[in-house]
Each structure stands twice: as C-alpha cells, then as structure tokens.
Structure 1
Amino acid sequence: MIRVTEQESRYNNIDEMSFAEILQHINEEDKTVPLAVERSLPQIEKLASAVTERMKNGGRLFYIGAGTSGRLGVVDASECPPTFGVPFDEVVGIIAGGDKAIRRAVENAEDDAVQAWVDLKEFNINAKDCLVGLAASGTTPYVIGGLNTARKNGVLTGCIVCNEGGPIAEESDYPVEVVVGPEFLTGSTRMKSGTAQKLVLNMLSTTVMIKLGKVKGNKMVDMQLTNHKLVDRGTQMVMDELKLGYDASADLLLRHGSVRKAVEAGKKLISQ
C-alpha cells in the first residue's frame, strides 16, 4: 500500500523559515483537514449508525490505538461520561503500552499484535460490543491484531485511518479513511492526521450519544455537574426550560442531579 502519511512534505528547508512562514504554512495545511473529513462523511455515517444500533442493545464502544492515535481515543472516551452522563465503562479508550503510555512512549508496544486482545479481555469485551481501531498509518500491528481477533469473536469493528487500503481497514466492518496528505513535518502524524482523527472521533461519539437520547434540543441534559461552571450552565438550561428564577432552578438541579431529572421534576411540580 502507498502510505501518504509518510510521503515527503510539500515544504523544503522549513528549518530556515521565519516564525511567520512556519505558522502560515502549518495553518494552510490544517485548512485542508475538514475537507478531507467531508469526503469521508458517508463512511462516518455508516460507522455511527452501526455503533448506535449495537449500543442501543446494551453494547459498549471501545477504541484502541498507539501513540497519538491511542491518546486521542482515550481523550474521547474519557469525555463521554462528563458530557453525556454515561457510565465510565460504556466508552473505553485503550492505548498500546497501558495508561503510562499516555504520557510517555512505551518502546515496541505498537508492534505487539497479540496484546490488544489481552487488554480488551480485561473489560470482558463480547459480541454485543463495538471496537474502533485508530491508526494514522493504517498498519499498526497492535490495532490489526485487536481488530482481527475481535471480528472473529463477533465484535463489530471499525477504524479511523489516514491512508487508503491498509490492513486495518481490511479488518474493519466499517472503515473510515480520511486521507489528509503529507504532513508539514514529514511523517509527523500528530499534526494533520491527528487533527483528522480528533474531528472524526468528535463526530462519531457525539452523533451516537445524540441518537441514544443523551441530548435534548441542543443541550447536554445528562452532563455531570462536576464544577461550578457546569452547575451554572445546567441552571441556565433549567431556567430556559421551566421559566423559573435562578435560585429555584439551581435548587432543582442540585436536588435531582441532572438537567433532565430537574426539568422532569419541575414540570410535575408546575402541573400540580
């Protein structure tokens, strides 16, 4: 396969550029990423729809990846509970080398084709679940091995990669291939490729959660109230929905623990 992510940068002598030139050219390259994602929307739609159906029937969503890709999966998974109020084990991000690899690279972790399934089995992954492999190259052995074994065990598989036609896409029921082209810094896939994967992860998890009923209108009605800012945001939502004052809305919110429950309780009180 041709790995576009490893092709030579379009820019030469970048070490001789001024600050302004470096920043301008990085920005020029970054502007191309949303357009590449747009071309992959049909693939993203198919993956989101399939994941939603599995999760409606009690399945979970797992991400696996190495390096930047693995970190992005961990970030997306970790943001689902506070944003949508889902349990912490409903969307799970796993990085090659374990949690210590989030901060510091673990040598050769991505080359172990067996370890991903070992890591997934710790969560009792089963045929109800979904597994999305993340790898800019589309060739990471850790991800290939995990997807291959998962598929054999009835797990729905997908991927988010930045090259076409690689082995990870071949192991995926629903591949998403976002080809962003060569990086500004040759081979540095934490740049455009990482940005593309982050955008697709945002789209995937947000769309799935909306379709699972975790959003009402355009509001995060099940978000966790973990700080003053979020309590204030939730209070404003209750105020808008029930047309109550700030203090009464805050009291309802804190007593019931979520915007959804506060609004439901408030409507019952108002109707009495």
Structure 2
Amino acid sequence: MDVPRDLDLLSTSECVSILANDHMQAIQAVQNASEDIATFIEILIPKIKDGGRLIYFGCGTSGRLGVLDAAECPPTFQSSPETIIGLIAGGDDSLRTSSEAKEDNQNGIALEFERIALSDKDVVLGIAAGGTTPWVVGGIALAKQRGAVTGFLTCSPAQNIADFEIALKTGPEPLTGSTRLKAGTATKLTLNIITTTLFTKLGKVYGNKMVDLKASNTKLHDRAIRIVTSICEVSREDAAELLAAADNEVKVAILMHKQSVDNKTATQILTSAGGNLRTAL
C-alpha cells in the first residue's frame, strides 16, 4: 500500500491504522519466501543433529532479533544454549545502546568467530535488512573461510554472497529508512519459523505441544500438567503424579503412562528413539 508522506499531519488514529496495515506486507514477504526458508532449514537439520550449531549475526535491530530468537530456544525447546547462538556487532552492550560505528568494520566479527570456535560443522545466518552491512557481509566471507555453511537473510534483493539466501521483499518502510518496522517484523517472523520448524523436526514437539519441557518453575509446571493431561487423557491430579514420578520430564511422564513402564524404562525407550516421543510411542 502507498503510505502518505506526511505522517506528521495525520491524526493518531490514522497513523496507527496506516502503520498496522502497512505491516501486512511483512507477513506476505515471509510467505513469498517460504520455499527459500524451507530449503535453509532442510540444510540446517542434519548439521544440528551432527552436533553443529546455528549462529545468527547482525547489527542493530537485525542483531538484536537474532539474539532474542537464540535466547528463546532453551526455555521453549530445552535445547542447549550452545545450539543457537546470537551475535551482535558491539557485543551485549549493543542490545541496549546503539553501536552504529561497529557496523562498518568488515573484519569486526573475526574475534567473535574465534571465541565460539566456528567450524565446518556449523551453519551461520547473517542478517542485514539493507543487504550491504560490512560487518555482516564480511562475516559471511569469514565464515566461508572456516568452512561453515553460510546463509544470508535480507529485506533487499538477493546479493549472492552466501550459500543460501532468503530475500524478504518488504518494500519501502512507512518511516523512510527505519528498518525496525516492516523489515524487523519480517525478520522476527522468519527467525521464529526457522527455529520452531527446526526443533519440531528434531523431535522437540509432539502434535503442537512443547513436550521437550522440564517443569522448572510454577508456570512451566502448570504447562507440563496441561500437556500430560491432554496427551494422556488423564486428570490434572494423575498428570501431576506422573510428572513427579518422571522427575518433571514431560516426555518421560507420557511414555510411562502410554507404555505402562517405570521412569528408568521410559527414559531408556526415549533415548533409543533419539529423544523423539512419537518414535518412542
């Protein structure tokens, strides 16, 4: 849609409506790139299974979104914090304070790659809405030198600088140049899709339930009870007893009920199935 140039002359209601409607293009852009996203995930799955990692890196909004998605994976999927890593130009301070000058250093990420010991087992995804950020473009080149599989996520035309590229055609921003808007929304959605699909394929999901969950606090314990109640078709009281007997491991509790076995046997069955509940059942 065409956004009025004179945003400052609009009423508050008009401004909100226009910005909200314009963001629909972000969702469509992700949908249009779905095949490229799926291709990237298919390459990623065996790498993670073999002990590799996914490393996001970007500057500003792009970097923050990568760090955010990486941080959400352990509590959601009980994955290791080392499986999905987010790097941002300027380090953790840049999560709260902008470090624009860091973006121009094409070799700036070299020390970060050294610190995490980036190798040919890993997959990297450089994120740059505008497609030309030196810190990101240089990082992709450095990752290639280390033998890593390289991906590039941009909201500009494909640059042909990585092994796999995802170009989200979000169009001009309603506030010219502010890529925290549509580009940021499309980027966040894409990263969500990548990790959710990845961990689903790795057996962290059963149906649409987050079964690879350890009930470590009150909220998660309640969620675990609801998951066990739903899948096992038992009462909350019975679900709570199953969880207690399973050391609060949801998949173990479900197996104990479904297979009528004890904790030790359920754990062995699950391990033999590679941690995949559906396979174990």
Give the structure-2-normalised TM-score. 0.88
Aligned equivalent of 2:78: 85
Q: What CA distance in whole angstroms lies between the structure 2 residues aligned with 1:165 and 1:252?
A: 51
Tell me the residue number matched to 1:214. 204
**Partner residue in 2 for 1:96:** 89
Retained in 1: the 8 A contact 2:54–2:85?
Answer: yes
> Match of 2:270?
none
The one-letter amino acid of 1:135's match is: A
Which residue of the other structure, out of 239, 255, 258, is the alignment partner of 1:264?
Answer: 255
Where in structure 1 do 4 or more consecutive aligned residues deviate above 6 Å?
none
Task: Specify the code of the residue in structure 2 equivalent to 1:247.
Answer: E
CA contact (8 A) 1:183 1:191 kept: yes
Q: CA deviation at 1:206?
A: 0.7
Q: Distance in 1 between matches of 2:106 and 2:238?
A: 56
Partner of 1:5: none
What does residue 145 of structure 1 align with?
138
In the alignment, what sits opposite 1:63? 56
- % same residue: 38
Whole-Å Cα distance in 2 between the matches of residues 202 and 66 of structure 1? 18
Counterpart Cα distance in 2 of 1:107 and 1:44: 28
SS in 1 for 2:109: helix
Answer with 217-226 or 125-134: which moved more.
217-226
- For 2:118, the aligned partner's letter is I
1:75 aligns with 2:68: yes
Matches within 5 A, 1:2-151: 10-151=3-144
Q: Which is worse superposed, 183-192 or 235-244? A: 235-244
Assess, with a 3 A threshold, how the Cα gap between structure 1 residues 257 and 171 changes in structure 2: closer, same or farther. farther
Distance 2:88 2:175 in 1: 24
* Higher RCO (CA 8 Å, separation ≥ 6 residues): 1
The whole-number CA distance in structure 1 between the counterparts of 2:158 and 2:209 is 38
Q: Tell me if the contact between 2:76 and 2:210 (Cα under 8 Å) persists in the aligned partners.
A: yes
- Mark the runs of 5 or more structure 1 residues left unpaired by the alignment: 1-8
Q: Is the 8 A contact 1:72 1:198 kept in 2?
A: yes
Residue 235 of structure 2 is aligned to residue 242 of structure 1? no
Amino acid at match of 1:262: A
Partners of 1:221 and 1:260 within 8 A in 2:
yes
Ranges in structure 2 where 5+ consecutive residues have no aligned partner: 266-281
Contact 1:59/1:128, CA 8 A, preserved across alignment: yes
1:81–1:88: 8 Å Cα contact kept in structure 2?
Answer: yes
Report the alpha carbon displacement of residue 226 of structure 1 after superposing the two structures with TM: 4.0
RMSD: 1.8
- CA displacement at 1:25 relative to structure 2: 0.8
Contact 1:84 1:224 survives alignment (8 Å)? no
